[in-house]
Structure 1
Amino acid sequence: MSDVPVVEVNNNIGVLNTGSPHYVQFVTDLDKLDVKTEGQKIRYSDRFKAEGINVNFVERKGDRLHVRTYERGVEDETLACGTGVTACAIADWMLHDSNSKTADNQQISRDMIALGGSLSVHFTPTALGGFEDIWLAGPAVRVYDGKCGLFLLSNCKKNDTTAFDNQLKADVEIINNYLAAKGWTADSTDSGLRYRVTSQGSGNYPTANSVVKVRYKGYLTNGNVFDESTDGATFGLYQVIPGWTEGIQKFKEGDAHIKPIGLRAQGISKSEDTYIGREVMLKHYESRAWGTMIGPFGGCYAIRANLFEPIPPNFLVDDFLITFRALEQGYAAINDLSAQFSGGSTSPTTADNPREQPAPKEESAPIPATDQTKAYELDRYFPTIRKGEIVKHKHFALAYNEDHEQAEWVLYYLTRDRLNANWAPRPNSFRPDPTVRTGSATTQDYVGSGYDRGHLCPAGDMAFDEIGIDESFYMSNMSPQDPKFNIGIWRELEELTRDWARKYQKLYIVTGPVLTDKPLPYIGPSKVTVPKRYYRVLLAEDRAIAFIMPNENSNLPVMDFACSIDKVEEITQLDFFPQILTGNYEAYESKLDKSAWPINQQRMARRVEEYNEYYH
């Protein structure tokens, strides 16, 4: 789980963010507490009513903590909340045990009881007053069987089915009827996005690389406001769903308005490249709702008025409810969007019409506007590539190999300051990478495969920046990993890498699959290669080391897999840091000094005794 950098405690109350914001209050006689009434008082108090907060009530009984949780969005008590139980365990230690003497890096454990069952929480206090290595464990228990009336079709393409073509015709007819009823005319983009510009600004057109600030408002078919951002949402156009990337380029900076028009009927929706408006409204809510099945890029779905028969109590998390409240009224669609582009960083255009912009060259993959006036900071550290395209994100770059539907390598750097920064929430929003020109793998490729979507650049290494951690969930950053490998020795190597970055202040890291092994199996409709081995190359100011590990469970020490950079280059047929490791520094490639990279023996013990047993 996400690290927790700050915990606010006072008397018997703790406030912290474990991926979601939580208020923890220790009480007596928990069983008789009116959780809904008392939780609402806190959730809608002056301090928390704007953003909302989950409220947890805790009572210690013997050596266990009993927890009941009021969850925002649901606005009622839930059977269990994983981030809430974790928050309660950490708050308990802060309030009752933090003054006790503990050894450095000593892991703390708490046994928890929620209405949904028993759980255990493990965490390690840091010297700076935060917490890391946070784990939540417990059995998976079936609490409800029901019928889902939600139709899902992941990664729909135009030529997949005749059903799509039929539905597309129906969508177009609905949109045309809607426009006629309003007395509107609408323009159309090359991909089929219908839009109206109701007033135009006087500034520059944004480009696909621009960072913009947008105020938007979404409506139901009865005219009620479904969602809005009055203060404005700031984002890069290369980071959002294709409809926004395309649509916002149609109006100028200033007091401009645009209306993407779209209805989505019951059945199959339009695909990623023929976007319609309501996906904008759903993009904020779908990642937790059906995060492994749909996503804001390429996810295809339709919504129906009756989703569950019946909706089980205490089942839906807050992000479901925002969308589903509209459906409870019987709406099969949420229709149009008003957006106002009120400024931001825009790139110069070569013509008034952004359609006439030249196609971007491979070497000019999108990077944040703040970096567009200087050289991309990772350029000098790029390895060579065997085949594919280089894709640059805000804090990491990768070489995407279309033949294997994954990156040959991912490059980024870690610093002590980045690791000590306040951590952004972990989004868990896996989705295709819109900047991969050939198209990346999708979540559907992993469904039922038995393999994890293994991060190459770990989300935890990007958690210092909200955009960085969000981009780390692009499928271009994923590779099929054995779950025991992912949660075991690979995780330990990631943790050790953070230890070394703190010790040596800055590390450049290249990691990826070994794609030269033959033959290699594959998974999913996109035929994603399943690697037999993975590598990691680390470069500090005055030392270097590399690792090659089999994609399987292991009880061996991490250092058993250490090797020289030359060895990884021989196996992968890549050249690492070719612009850096020259002259006197070239010796770093052949040298292997394990003693220069101290390890934490407790991490290995925890891996062997706990993580490796997780799937047994």
Structure 2
Amino acid sequence: MRALRAGLTLALGAEGWLGRREDAQAAPGLLGRLPVLPVAAAADLPAVPGGPAGRGPRELAKDRLPRPAQLESRPAHPRALWVVEQLRPERLRGDGDRRACDFREDDSVRAYHRATNADYRGSGFDRGHLAAAANHRWSQKAMDDTFFLSNVAPQVPHLNQNAWNNLEKYSRSLTRSYQNVYVCTGPLFLPRTEADGKSYVKYQVIGKNHVAVPTHFFKVLILEAAGGQIELHSYVMPNAPVDEAIPLERFLVPVESIERASGLLFVPNILARAGSLKAITAGSK
């Protein structure tokens, strides 16, 4: 499993990210078995503009993010189950040029567990970023590394290029209003009730590597104000064409529904340190 080579502020779980170098010998179990996930090793990160003193990756991870024990190991999965980014205004500007980037295989993943560009060719799906390329303009290398196919999931083109893109833009805009913006993104595979009254989880797979096509995508925005107040905005969108005219707030859901579907826990980890939390759902603003 590669430590994602750019300075992306990505995490696979709380101690999972910051501990790849520092604690690798102490945590060979779950962390060593985790599926393909873009993970940044703190020692590999170049200097990041605007990084606040005293609030490094360890503090972010232990206070705000899901923990490794909450992530089920799925050793043969050719894409991330979830990624976490920290967005800051300084990181949204720079010389990173999307036109210089190419989607490529993640050679830290065993070949028979690895997604390839051929899997997507002719599938009708976009290679949808989980960690958005535009979130990492501060470094060409950072942007390049968002194009590993381990940071990608099959996404309906209309969704990827319209409503989901609008949600990504909105996430970036929040850096103007909050001291810290953390974004957790991932695929979901949700059940659907069929004519027989029973619920089933069904999804398409593409390519010879059987890359799973999510039924939905989630994005949880963890927003920290200058005074320390924490807000959660949690969204779920179907992996289907979505009318751009529908306001983003219509896709707000209780964070508990994402916790239940993804196996991650956000609220307990935040409350353990922050003491209070405001969860924003549709109609609650």
1:553 match: 241
1:415 deviation in Å?
1.2
Q: Shift of residue 414 of structure 1?
A: 0.5
Distance 1:575 1:363 in 2: 17
Distance in 2 separating the partners of 1:488 and 1:480 = 15
* Other-structure match for 1:580: 270
The answer on whether the counterparts of 2:101 and 2:143 sit within 8 Å (CA) in structure 1 is no
User: What's the CA shift for 1:405?
Assistant: 2.4
Partner deviation per Cα, 1:453-507 (whole Å, 9 max, x = no partner): 0001110001112221111001111000000110110011111111112222321
Q: SS where residue 128 of structure 2 aligns? A: strand
Higher helix share: 2
Aligned to 1:126: none
8 Å Cα contact 2:118-2:207 kept in structure 1: yes
Q: Helix, strand or coil: the match of 2:41?
A: coil
1:370 Cα deviation (Å)?
5.1
- Contact between 2:83 and 2:185, CA under 8 Å: does it hold in 1? yes
Equivalent in 202, 216, 220 of residue 519 of structure 1: 202
Which blocks of at least 5 consecutive residues in structure 1 are unaligned? 1-207, 210-235, 241-347, 349-357, 389-400, 597-616
Contact between 2:249 and 2:282, CA under 8 Å: does it hold in 1?
A: no
| 1:552–1:593 distance in 2 versus 1, CA, 3 Å | closer
Q: Which one of 386, 406, 412 corresponds to residue 79 of structure 2?
A: 406
- Tell me which residue corresponds to 2:61: 379
Task: Give, in whole Å, the separation in 2 of the partners of 1:370 and 1:521.
Answer: 36
User: Match of 1:496, as an amino acid?
Assistant: Y
1:79-101 alpha-carbon deviations (Å, 9 max, x no partner) = xxxxxxxxxxxxxxxxxxxxxxx
CA 1:368/1:530 → structure 2, altered by over 3 Å: closer, same or farther? same
Please state if 1:447 is matched with 2:121.
Answer: yes
Aligned mate of 2:96, from 424, 431, 441? 424
Deviations, residues 56-88 of structure 1 (Å, cap 9, x unaligned): xxxxxxxxxxxxxxxxxxxxxxxxxxxxxxxxx
2:108 corresponds to = 435
* Residue type of the alignment partner of 2:124: G
- Size of the aligned set, in residue pairs, is 230
1:531 aligned residue:
214
Q: Which residue of 2 aligns with 1:475?
A: 149
Ranges of 4+ aligned residues in structure 1 off by more than 6 Å: none
Q: Deviations over 1:431-468 (max 9, x none)?
A: 12233468431111111100000001110001112221
Q: Distance in 2 between matches of 1:527 and 1:495?
A: 31
User: 1:368 Cα deviation (Å)?
Assistant: 5.4
Give the CA deviation at 1:404. Answer: 4.3
Q: 1:513 and 1:375, CA in 2 relative to 1: closer, same or farther beyond 3 A?
A: closer
- The change in CA–CA distance for 1:476 and 1:586 in structure 2 (over 3 A counts) is farther
In 2, Cα distance between equivalents of 1:465 and 1:408: 25
Contact 1:378 1:412 in 2 (8 A): no
TM-superposed deviation, 1:529: 0.7
Q: Is the 8 A contact 2:155 2:239 kept in 1?
A: yes
Q: Is the 8 A contact 2:188 2:214 kept in 1?
A: yes
For residues 553-595 of structure 1, the C-alpha deviation after alignment (integer angstroms, 9 at most, x for no partner) is: 1222211111221221123232126432336646445x53767
The letter of the residue matching 1:424 is: G
Matched with 1:369 is 43
Equivalent-residue separation in structure 2 for 1:595 and 1:464 (angstroms): 35
| Distance in 1 of aligned mates of 2:257 and 2:277 | 13
More strand as a share of residues: 1
Q: Which amino acid aligns with 1:457?
A: A
The answer as to whether partners of 1:514 and 1:571 remain within 8 angstroms in 2 is yes
The Cα shift of 1:408 comes to 1.3
Quote how far apart the aligned CAs of 1:515 are.
2.9
Instruction: Give the letter for the 1:485 counterpart.
Output: L
Match of 2:52 in 1: none
Equivalent residue of 1:407, what SS? coil
1:366–1:435: 8 Å Cα contact kept in structure 2? Answer: no
| Distance 1:505-1:592 versus aligned 2 partners, 3 A rule | same
Taking structure 1 as reference, are residues 417 and 449 closer, same or farther at Cα in structure 2, changes over 3 Å only?
same
In structure 1, C-alpha distance between the alignment counterparts of 2:40 and 2:232, rounded to whole Å: 30
Name the counterpart of 1:462. Answer: 136
> Match for residue 252 of structure 1?
none
**CA–CA distance in structure 1, aligned partners of residues 102 and 268 of structure 2:** 34
Tell me which residue corresponds to 1:508: 182
Residue 223 of structure 2 corresponds to which residue in structure 1?
A: 540
Q: Is the 8 A contact 2:97 2:137 kept in 1?
A: yes
Alignment correspondent of 1:27: none
**AA matched with 1:530:** V
> Structure 1 stretch 451-460 or stretch 465-474: which is displaced more?
465-474
Q: Offset of 1:534 from its aligned partner? A: 0.6
Give distance in 1, aligned partners of 2:282 and 2:240: 25
1:314-325 aligned at under 5 Å gives the runs none
SS at structure 1 position matched to 2:182: strand
Asked whether the 8 Å contact 2:182–2:223 carries over to 1, the reply is yes
Answer whether contact 2:252 2:282 (CA < 8 A) is retained: no
Q: Are the equivalent residues in 2 in contact too, given 1:533–1:548 (CA < 8 A)?
A: yes
What code does the residue aligned with 1:526 have? N
1:563 has 2:253 as partner: yes
Quote the RMSD (CA, aligned, Å): 3.3
Q: Which residue of 2 aligns with 1:486?
A: 160
2:269 aligned counterpart, secondary structure = coil
Tell me if the contact between 1:484 and 1:553 (Cα under 8 Å) persists in the aligned partners: yes
What TM-score do the two structures reach when normalised by structure 2?
A: 0.69
What letter matches 1:550 in structure 2? P
The question of whether the paired residues in 1 share the 8 Å contact of 2:190 and 2:216 is answered with no
Give the alignment's TM-score, normalised by structure 1.
Answer: 0.34
Identity of aligned residues (%): 30
Cα distance in 1 between the residues matched to 2:275 and 2:235: 19
Letter aligned with residue 567 of structure 1: S
